[in-house]
Structure 1
């Protein structure tokens, strides 16, 4: 079955073949980021009056289920992004003041975090989203929101809900971040962290616990790690690109091995952390002599910076293409160095961040990696804009919406 989606001015028309398909009182068209089944890709730019064809599925009742083309809304930490959502309501003269738009973040299977709500001309932005979330206001039926100064914690799944009196409909959008996954364990050794300790350990290293999809992507890009670690959903997994007996048997296929959901308080593993683009830069502090840990920390401070965290070094390796064949102290007391272009004298044939462990802080001497924070507000060229507070406020005018936000469909 083929369904045609047509943008005719300010309204959307669906038709099967040449027959229009009537909407109910309220229909919601969400540019969903879930991987839809049996759909064709739609161009990012939908021209008015031009038909776009997608394939559709039918559920057990015979009702038509429409899916948009699969894709991702992707940005990086510090960037701006649009979470796209459109709706159509009948009759067209429905009072817009009775339309409620609500955005929430899905934090667990049955848990939601309020992000934004609008009813008529009243708006409210919640919690950490204050001053960063605004309606796009691109015309009638547009329920899209713009998120500025995106943080690592913004990563995840969002629900767009539009309500008209007794009718409502919802759709989902996944916000993805460009970034890098890295395994982490503390000075105390391997398999010492319960779930909450792993979560804290990642935060201390300028990161968050990675999701399964982020770990799977890292595995596709070559991540191979033989120790199991916590993920953000409470599962324990590890990626194997080169099967071997010491890592779950050599005859097992390559892939992301999964221990399932484990007890968050009692069981202990390592952690898989995720970080994104930096609001600053990491550099190796050039000195005439190597120093112990305390001297290294002081040296960075004297240079106007701080000792770099593990997540910051990984981000610098990934985005800054930092390549340095010299071992150096990091803030957690570990010794590491980043290699973009492998060479034999720099730890092997694969690119990555080399880890030499946690040596004695007082008696072992190395160089040091420092982190210098950007002085500008925001990251990646994003300017912080003062927006609605956590109270009901008047809607901002359309010309006050943030500019240069990115929409990826």
Structure 2
């Protein structure tokens, strides 16, 4: 029968008491924060590039004036669930009332580009992408005791590897280096790609050409026979 409202199926007095707390399945906590959730497919981006992870929400009318400003927290989640049912977590940033605090591991690489103009836009920009940045990112919005969250999966693509000519250690010109990369179904790496790999721990004692025609040693810890150009010091690209 059309045009008939559903009834919770309880006695009137009992129904009134329960509706104040459960509202036939819709509570104040459910409507205080309205996250614009979508079914997120994995966002894929190349190493060293910048990616934007969406997080948009609204508050119930009147909530912003009667409660403290929303608290936004981004967290990275990865790995298999342990015996306690939990995965590994790493805090990325926390923002509240236009004050953004970035955790040390992500400083200089993450921002909330739309947050200053619109505090309901908590989308996260992550730059200088590294392979280790792959994972599931959770955006959580908290207003008082009410919270809502959404997750965005990220996959960082690309691998940096060193190619050595079989007949000599340093036998390739820049043009030759570009050619052999193509022959190995690759392209010559950019400085940014090497930096991203270096930040993840890449260590190689051989010098190599990069796309800007510079030659660099990605050495994590100088050691006998492998000092790069700064003997006794850690050298970074």
TM-score (norm 2): 0.54
The Cα of 1:170 is off from its aligned counterpart by 1.1
Q: Say which of 316, 320, 325 aligns to 2:187.
A: 320
Extract structure 1 runs of 4+ deviating beyond 4 A. 281-285, 313-316
Deviations 1:135-163 (A, max 9, x none): 03163521111001111110111111000
Q: Deviations over 1:282-312 (max 9, x none)?
A: 6775xxx934xxxx2xx26x979xx9xxxxx
Contact conserved, 1:77 with 1:152, CA < 8 A, in 2?
A: yes
Distance change >3 Å, CA 315–CA 122, structure 1 → 2: farther
Report the counterpart of residue 91 of structure 1 in structure 2: 61
Aligned to 2:75: 104
In structure 1, the residue matched to 2:167 is 290
Q: Which one has a larger percent helix, Structure 1 or Structure 2?
A: 2
Task: Return 5+ residue gaps in structure 1 as ranges.
Answer: 1-21, 34-70, 180-274, 308-312, 323-330, 333-368, 377-409
SS of residue paired to 2:121? coil
Query: Equivalent residue for 1:75?
Result: 45
How far does residue 32 in structure 1 lie from its aligned partner after superposition? 4.4
Question: In the TM superposition, what is the alpha-carbon distance from 1:127 to its structure 2 partner?
Answer: 2.7
**Equivalent pairs, count:** 158
Task: Return the offset for 1:89.
Answer: 1.0
Using the alignment, how far apart are the partners of 1:172 and 1:77 within structure 2? 21
- Structure 2 counterparts to residues 2-401 of structure 1, below 5 A: 24-33=31-40, 71-92=41-62, 94-95=64-65, 98-108=69-79, 109=81, 110=86, 111-137=88-114, 139-179=118-158, 275=159, 278=160, 290-291=167-168, 296=169, 299=170, 317-320=184-187, 371-374=208-211
Distance 1:167 1:156, change over 3 A: same
TM-aligned CA distance change 1:321 to 1:98, over 3 Å:
closer
Q: Distance in 2 between matches of 1:29 and 1:75?
A: 23
State the Cα deviation string for residues 194-232 of structure 1 (Å, max 9, x = none): xxxxxxxxxxxxxxxxxxxxxxxxxxxxxxxxxxxxxxx
Partners in 1 of 2:162 and 2:102 — Cα distance?
34
Give me the whole-angstrom Cα distance separating, in 2, the residues matched to 1:32 and 1:124.
Answer: 28
State whether residues 97 and 119 of structure 1, in contact with CA within 8 Å, keep that contact through their aligned partners in structure 2: no
Answer with 1 or 2: which has the greater Rg: 2
In structure 2, what is the Cα distance between the partners aligned to 1:120 and 1:315? Answer: 50
Aligned counterparts of 2:37 and 2:185: Cα–Cα separation in 1: 32
The answer for unaligned runs of 5 or more in structure 2 is: 1-27, 190-202, 214-237
CA-atom RMSD, angstroms?
Answer: 4.0
More strand by share: 1
Taking the aligned partners of 1:129 and 1:315, their CA distance within structure 2 comes to 33
Name the counterpart of 2:226. none
Alpha-carbon contact 1:31-1:85 (below 8 Å) kept: no
Q: TM-score, normalised by structure 1?
A: 0.33
Call closer, same or farther: CA 1:161–1:317 in 2, change over 3 Å.
Answer: farther
